[in-house]
Amino acid sequence: MISKSFKSYNPKIVGSYDSVNIIKPEDAAVLFKAEGHYPKRLRVEAWTSYRDYRNRKYGVLLKDGEDWKSNRIVLNKEVISPKVQGNFVPLLDEVGQDFVARVQKKIERTGQNEWTTDLSHELFKFALESVSHVLYGKRLGLLLDYIDPEAQHFIDCITLMFKTTTPMLYLPPALLRHTRAKVWKDHVEAWDGIFNQADRCIQSIYRQLSKNPDAGEKYPGVLASLLMLDKLSIEDIKASVTELMAGGVDTTSVSLLWTLYELARHPDLQEEIRAEISAARIASKGDVVQMLKMVPLIKGALKETLRLHPVAVSLQRYITEDIVLQNYHIPAGTLVQLGLYAMGRDHRIFPHPEQYRPSRWVRSQSHYFRNLSFGFGPRQCLGRRIAETEMQLFLIHMLENFRFEKQRQVEVRSTFELILLPEKPIMLTIKPL
């Protein structure tokens, strides 16, 4: 018998919305069974308002309903289906190797056989170089000494875009726009910078393809594949490719920084993972796709990083049917939020949650609705395959070449700038092996 009932009054008060909040895997399972055929999450009004204001199409991130579904099905085949991983691996492997060479050069320049630094800016460039190589099949040259100022501007715009989104979660963008608030102006400038740079990249591939349409043997990248497939309108392709390019920078770079931070704090674990990598390197005999199937600890480390330092503080869905959670009756249409950060640190769900233990994902305990960092189901992260492959290859190359250390055992916490970021710079010492 159900004793309690949750009612959504939806009072339309500025700066507030009703939601039911959960953290348990069992509740997550009930939630995702009730997400319907067109799963819908909390709408980020700042993002839709910008597109409405500039008359730009929504990409898959912001679309809903049948329009979302039909676009997403086409994109899935090119971006997240298991068969495309083989195409991405050589592209991402090359960027990973170049990053190692760049770090080696930096170490040489210090003259001290080590380099102590806040790697975040280098990681932003690495992430943009990686996602661009996959999307466009071309290098931007961000790991060279002198880089295109436009590309650096793009990186700065993404950070500003996330930062200015946060206040607009609570104040309606329409209001801020009409009162000419600075946060709205900055937000518009940030998206303008993002769209201009993405437009330039997309135009250049489009022109190249119309001049020379017969495809060679080489994988041409996601954008060219979508254009040749001819299943989505050019405007739809542009909108989603822009979102993929923008979504591919801060997310993976920050996760990699957190991973290096955790490995610097756990030297024994670092050694253990290095041993796994060298065994996999030998056993796979130069086949990198094979090699990625032999590194469970690396994969566990990335899951562990995202458990303690998730990019998204929560997942959300509007449920499409009535459900029961914790003996509460929740009516269809209610917004339900799953607190990812809270779940990752709850001792009832993850024993000794404060410990960074990649092996917990390899053996022991149940993983039932616990691995949710990229979301769940048909609406999960579209960039997941790119992100995972990029991060795994990065860690493989970096751990094959360097040791990571930290000065003092200071705890770095997270701060919310739409995505979760380290609250202060993380200083690492990098030494050649």
Residues that bind ligand HEM (CB under 6 A): 41, 60-61, 72, 131, 243-244, 247-248, 251-252, 255, 306, 311-312, 315, 373-376, 379-383, 386-387
Using CB atoms within 10 Å of the CB of residue 287, give its burial: 0 to 12 exposed, 13 to 18 middle, 19+ buried.
exposed
The distance of closest approach from Cβ of residue 312 to ligand 2DC in the complex, given in angstroms and rounded to an integer, is 4
The distance of closest approach from Cβ of residue 386 to ligand HEM in the complex, given in angstroms and rounded to an integer, is 5
**252 near ligand 2DC (CB under 6 A):** no
From the list ligand 2DC, ligand HEM, none, which binds 131 (C-beta under 5 to 8 Å, kind-based)?
A: ligand HEM
User: Coil, helix or strand for 64?
Assistant: coil
Amino acid, single-letter form, for residue 339: G
The distance of closest approach from Cβ of residue 87 to ligand 2DC in the complex, given in angstroms and rounded to an integer, is 21
**342 near ligand 2DC (CB under 6 A):** no
Give residues with Cβ within 8 angstroms of 189, minimum separation 6. Answer: 157, 160
166 in Cβ contact with 123 (< 8 Å): no
The distance of closest approach from Cβ of residue 252 to ligand HEM in the complex, given in angstroms and rounded to an integer, is 5
Site for ligand 2DC in 57-116 (CB under 6 A): 61
**419 near ligand 2DC (CB under 6 A):** yes
Give residues with Cβ within 8 angstroms of 265, minimum separation 6. Answer: 356, 406, 409
**44 near ligand 2DC (CB under 6 A):** yes
**Where do we find the tokens 């249409």?**
333
Name the CA dihedral angle for 319, 325, 327, 332, rounded to a multiple of 10 degrees: 0
Site for ligand 2DC in 314-333 (CB under 6 A): 314, 316
Amino acid, single-letter form, for residue 283: A
From the list ligand 2DC, ligand HEM, none, which binds 373 (C-beta under 5 to 8 Å, kind-based)?
A: ligand HEM
Q: Closest Cα partner for 256 from 377, 57, 397?
A: 397
**246 near ligand 2DC (CB under 6 A):** yes
Q: Which of 151, 169, 181, 342 binds ligand 2DC (CB under 6 A)?
A: 169
Q: Could you tell me the two tokens for 194?
A: 């993002």
**236 near ligand 2DC (CB under 6 A):** no
**Residue placing its CB nearer to ligand HEM in the complex, 181 or 378:** 378
Give residues with Cβ within 8 angstroms of 392, minimum separation 6. Answer: 292, 295, 298, 299, 302
**313 near ligand 2DC (CB under 6 A):** yes
d(CA 85, CA 229): 18
Q: Is beta strand 427-432 parallel, antiparallel or unpaired with respect to 115-118? A: antiparallel
**224 near ligand 2DC (CB under 6 A):** no
From the list ligand 2DC, ligand HEM, none, which binds 419 (C-beta under 5 to 8 Å, kind-based)?
A: ligand 2DC
Q: DSSP code of 412?
A: P
30 in Cβ contact with 54 (< 8 Å): no
From the list ligand HEM, ligand 2DC, none, which binds 252 (C-beta under 5 to 8 Å, kind-based)?
A: ligand HEM
Q: Is beta strand 20-22 parallel, antiparallel or unpaired with respect to 335-339? A: parallel
Write out the residues near ligand 2DC by the rule CB under 6 A: 41-42, 44, 61, 169, 243, 246-247, 251, 311-314, 316, 381, 418-419
